[in-house]
Each structure stands twice: as C-alpha cells, then as structure tokens.
Structure 1
C-alpha cells in the first residue's frame, strides 16, 4: 500500500519532533514515600496518573497498598526534571541518561528523608 504525500509529511514530522524525557515522582503525602520514574514521555505518565486519580483505581502496582489505604487524594505527581534527547543520541543512550538523572534525584530525595517504592 503506497503512502500518500500527507502520510509521508506526518511521518517526517513525527521523526523530527523534539523528544523530551524526564524524571517524575509520584509521592504519597501521608507517608512521604516516592515512586521515582525515568521516562521518555512524562506527559504520558502524568495522563496515566490523572486517570488513576479520576477513577480511583491505582494503575501503579507498587502504590496499590498505600493507594487503597490513604486514597487517591494522598498522592501527587511532579516532573522533577526534563531532559531533551540529542539529535544524534540513540534511544538506549537517552534511556541511560534518564536513568543517571533519576539516580541523582534518588540521592537528593533520600537526603531529604524520602522513602521509595520499589518497582
């Protein structure tokens, strides 16, 4: 099946888009525990969190026990830091950079007294 000119333009625009990943934290304010995530799509993770909060159902398995105990209102979502993917950077390199950034945030939050959920 041949692609139309419009489809080719859309595909080209998608490939040339700026990819911005980030380190995100979902925090339980009742016990100061944090689920830290390094993701290539922080907006997608935020949407998933908002869906969970709106429906009252936890889609984050590590949080389930506290979610049921304290309720969705006890959780906050924050993008701690964003990172743009370099033009010549592979997906694996980008993921490694995001993981390194998450490790720095884990140290910083631990120094502030945060406990962490395990994935």
Structure 2
C-alpha cells in the first residue's frame, strides 16, 4: 500500500491537459474564452458556478438560466504541450495563446 508521501509525489508527476477552451452557447453562439493549466478542473469550476447561479460573468449566467445546461458545450480550441523545463511559466504562455486564438479565429461574439 502506498504512503501519503508516495501519493502526493505521484500527483505532482501527473500531467493535466492545459490550453485554451471555450464555453459555447449553442442557442446564440456566444462564447466564453478561457485558459488553464488544468482545463478539466477549470471547466468543472465554471459549470458548478453556473449550476449554483453564482458565475462571475452575469451575462453567461443569465443565458445559462434562460437556455439551460443542454445548450452549452465545452470545446478545446488549442492545447499546450508541457516542455522539459521544470520552471516554465505556463500561465504567461497560455494568456498569449488565448490572445492568438481569439485573433486567428476572429472571435467576436463573446461574454467578455
């Protein structure tokens, strides 16, 4: 059986998908563009905030309440692969990647 220390070390070694994603309203095609070093966790946070009616983006929350969860999808727009450097600043890279994605895809219909 593994010790707590071994579980902690194993968790630190795990690699989570990181990148830029959108929460898309299928009814009006509005999107929320976001980025994260752990996209799945960030998406779950957005979803829980929306389900509890406490999302920080009031317009997104309004549409979620009006159209319902079934009219929203989570889509990965660009994934960032980890590099070998241990001290990489992925947040800075992800912010730049997000700006590039918005510019390249000409995304205009956003929740801000």
Q: TM-score, normalised by structure 1?
A: 0.72
Measure the CA separation in 2 of the matches of 1:99 and 1:89. Answer: 19
CA 1:89/1:96 → structure 2, altered by over 3 Å: closer, same or farther?
farther
Q: TM-score, normalised by structure 2?
A: 0.76
Measure the CA separation in 2 of the matches of 1:72 and 1:85. Answer: 32
What's the RMSD between the two structures over aligned residues? 2.5
Q: Does 1:117 align with 2:98?
A: no
Measure the CA separation in 1 of the matches of 2:109 and 2:79. Answer: 22
Identify the match of residue 56 of structure 2 among 40, 58, 61: 61
Identify the match of residue 93 of structure 2 among 74, 94, 97: 97
Equivalent residues, number: 109
User: Structure 2, unaligned stretches of length 5 or more?
Assistant: none
Q: Secondary structure at the residue paired with 2:28?
A: coil
Deviations, residues 59-108 of structure 1 (Å, cap 9, x unaligned):
533211211222222211112222133232436x1001111111111113
**Aligned 1:1-119 pairs, distance under 5 A:** 6-48=3-45, 51=48, 56-62=51-57, 63-90=60-87, 93-110=89-106, 114-118=108-112
User: Structure 1, unaligned stretches of length 5 or more?
Assistant: none
Say which one has the larger Rg. 1
Q: Secondary structure at the residue paired with 2:83?
A: coil
Extract structure 1 runs of 4+ deviating beyond 6 A.
none
